[in-house]
Amino acid sequence: MSAHLQDTPAVPIRCASRVAGLSAYRPPAPDARIRYRLDANEGPSIPDAGDLPAMDAERVRRYPRAAELEATIARTSGVEASRVIVTNGADDAIDRVCSSMLEPGRTLVTHTPTFEMIGLSARLAGGQVRTVPWMTGEFPEGALADLIDASTGVVALVSPNNPTGRMIPTPSLVRIARSAASVGAVAMIDLAYVEFADEDPTGVLLDEPNAVLVRTFSKAMGLAGCRVGYAIAPVPIAEWMRAVGGPYPVAGASLRLAEWALGRTAPRAAYISRVREERASLTRLLATLGAEPLPSQGNFVLARFRDAAGVREGLADRGIAVRGFSKPDLGAFLRISLPGDEAVYAALETALRSVLPEDES
């Protein structure tokens, strides 16, 4: 080491101000007790690995190109391929919207609670976050619209919402998008769970000149491990989103699996139907056992419990992981993913009846 470096006092390393105070997303630690993971809203399992498509060696050797998948998505969605951006999961699409539309002095408007990566992406882009509470009841359209002003860069809406499962009515989505357009803001609508809902607003929203629709292959498609998402956006916004992201965001093998998953329409329809049946059944069961389930349009049910931590631990002792929350407004709730599998659902029901007798004591 040079004498100069030895004599120079150490200066503390400082992160950028937008990073200070932020915490990384951390998945739950491994738990040897767990047999069924119903805490992450993941999609169906592939029954037989032999069903997976053969992988061309060139997919591994060459830099991946998403043009084929983007063209397929565009064709099935009825839009031009230039409007589709394949991303590294839906998180990447959200991050690109925030990166292209936010900076210090600009704000993102959303409802809370909702998908936590939205607020994180907004702050990392230098923006501020304004929220309106929406836990139960009708969507607070008026209160949210009142937050939209000249500083707004993004209005973020999640429907069905995570973690509550609540659905935003399509007319409200359109009106909020137009309010955002009136101040030059993007309306980012996260539709990660829309396959499980009774209504899909995609066809209507595609006509809005500022609407960015975010979708994923992690839920109904069952490819959470592949990290494939996409956005459908008006061409100018799509170009901005391409500019702020990496050139090869999704691995070639993941692209191939996504193309394959798109074609599995019959298995996917059967899985979605099964999830909807389980959702209704679980909602009834939880109410019978003294919990307070919220109406859900996702592949999960959020419910309030008298002792959420105790119920979560009791289910873990019986081999089932469900999602708990550390935030005060969600501390009394658990989110239970629906397996879409008869045997796993039966195990869940048995465990709940064991942990929660009729009086929940």
Mean pLDDT of 5-20: 78
Strands (E) in 126-271, as ranges, are 128-133, 152-158, 186-190, 211-216, 229-232
Element (H, E) at 260: helix 252-262
Look up residue 132 and give its two tokens. 């309106």
- Judgement on whether residues 181 and 66 belong to the same structural domain of the protein: yes
Number of domains the chain is built from: 2
Domain boundary among 247, 262, 277: 262
Q: What is the pLDDT of residues 36-52, one digit of tens each?
A: 999 999 999 876 666 77
Q: What is the pLDDT of residues 285-332, one digit of tens each?
A: 999 999 999 999 999 999 999 999 999 999 999 999 999 998 888 999
Domain boundary among 209, 239, 262: 262
Q: Does the residue 250 lie in any domain?
A: yes
Domain boundary among 207, 233, 262: 262
CA 337 to chain centroid, in Å, comes to: 13
- Judgement on whether residues 91 and 155 belong to the same structural domain of the protein: yes
- Judgement on whether residues 198 and 235 belong to the same structural domain of the protein: yes
Residue 167 confidence (pLDDT) above 90: yes
Amino acid in the structure at residue 192: A
**Residue 279 belongs to a domain with what CATH number?**
3.90.1150.10
Give pLDDT, residue 273: 97
Task: Give the C-alpha separation, 231 to 72, whole Å.
Answer: 13
Q: Does the residue 52 lie in any domain?
A: no
Residue 72 confidence (pLDDT) above 90: yes
Q: Which domain holds residue 276?
A: 3-46+266-355
Q: For the chain, what percent of residues have pLDDT higher than 90?
A: 83
- Judgement on whether residues 258 and 276 belong to the same structural domain of the protein: no
- Judgement on whether residues 216 and 328 belong to the same structural domain of the protein: no
- Judgement on whether residues 69 and 189 belong to the same structural domain of the protein: yes
Q: What is the pLDDT of residues 211-221, one digit of tens each?
A: 999 999 999 99
Q: What is the mean pLDDT of the chain?
A: 93
Mean pLDDT of 89-117: 97
Q: How confident is the model at residue 56 (pLDDT cuts 50, 70, 90)?
A: confident
Q: Does the residue 217 lie in any domain?
A: yes
Give pLDDT, residue 4: 60
The β-bridge relationship of strands 211-216 and 229-232 is antiparallel
Give pLDDT, residue 326: 87
Give pLDDT, residue 361: 39
